[in-house]
Amino acid sequence: MLNAIARALQLDDVEREHLFDLARADQPGAGPRTRRAAASSVAPGVQAVLDALDGVPALVRSPFLDVPAVNHLGRALYAPVLEDPRRPANFARFTFLGPRARDFRVDWPKVVGDMVAHLQAAAGRDPHDRALTQLVGELWGWPIIGRPCGSPA
């Protein structure tokens, strides 16, 4: 049925995947889930690859815009993002809440739109993810799963 809908709407691969994600999320038992704990680091081999990229800033970014690993030039380039003491650093948190975000980003309004679109796509893939709900709540100042924004975890 979904394939027929996707064909009728002439969806591309990304749109088709999103449609199937939405359908899965609506299945009975698709209650709140928590993604695996955000890795504050990556496997040593991944860090070795990042470090081997000499002359190129490189980082690892999660689907929720966490930054668990970065090479030397990446640290220099993204220093304002990485200054946040919360780990792992997060591009969305920096963009919305970072005091230096507007100066760091050349086209801050466009970046904000891109961040919103990225988080919406992540929510489409897993709308019941508690970690994503917490991040979005933090960004918009909403209460985060039973505790006021800004309270200790």
Share of the chain above pLDDT 90, in %: 35
Judge whether 147 lies within some domain. Answer: no
Judge whether 77 lies within some domain. Answer: yes
Kindly tell me the burial class for residue 140, based on how many C-beta atoms sit within 10 Å of its own C-beta (0-12, 13-18, 19 or more).
Answer: exposed
Instruction: State which H helix or E strand residue 69 sits in.
Output: strand 69-70
Cα→Cα distances 89→38, 59, 106, 113, 148, Å: 10, 11, 20, 20, 21
Nearest CA-CA partner of 149 in 89, 83, 93, 85: 93
Range with the lowest mean pLDDT among 4-8, 14-18, 46-50?
Answer: 14-18
Tally of structural domains, the chain: 1
Domain that holds residue 44: 2-26+38-140
- Pick the most confident of 39-43, 86-90, 92-96: 92-96
Quote the pTM value: 0.67
Judge whether 31 lies within some domain. Answer: no
Q: Share the mean pLDDT of the chain.
A: 80
pLDDT at 10 over 80: no
